[in-house]
Amino acid sequence: MNDAHDPGHGSSPAAWTGMIIMLVGFSAGTLFFWFDQAALVWASASLLAIGPIVGTVMAKAGYGVGGSKTTATH
């Protein structure tokens, strides 16, 4: 298989950071929904929107798959 077209399956600091932010938002939102805390549910939902933005900004800053900050320089 040709590795030149392999997107890396999101194995980058940008992808991990974005997904962790969204996972925390989803988990906290579920917990706050269970405790009937509407304001905190909406605050947690905002993390679901912030996660992809952070991931995209980090990827553009070089922390994405094949980015300048993630490739080894010898």
Q: What are the pLDDT digits (tens) for 40-62?
A: 999 999 999 999 999 999 999 99
CB-side neighbour CA atoms (13 Å) of 32: 15
Percent above pLDDT 70 for the chain: 84
What per-residue confidence (pLDDT) applies to 19? Answer: 95
**Please, which pLDDT band fits residue 71 given cuts at 50, 70 and 90?**
confident
Could you state, in order of their start, the residue ranges of all structural domains in the chain? 11-63
Would you say residue 6 has pLDDT above 70? no
pTM, whole model, 2 decimals?
A: 0.81
Main-chain dihedrals φ then ψ at residue 35, nearest 5 degrees: -90, 5
CA distance linking residue 54 with residue 21, whole number of Å: 9
Mean pLDDT, rounded, for 30-39: 97
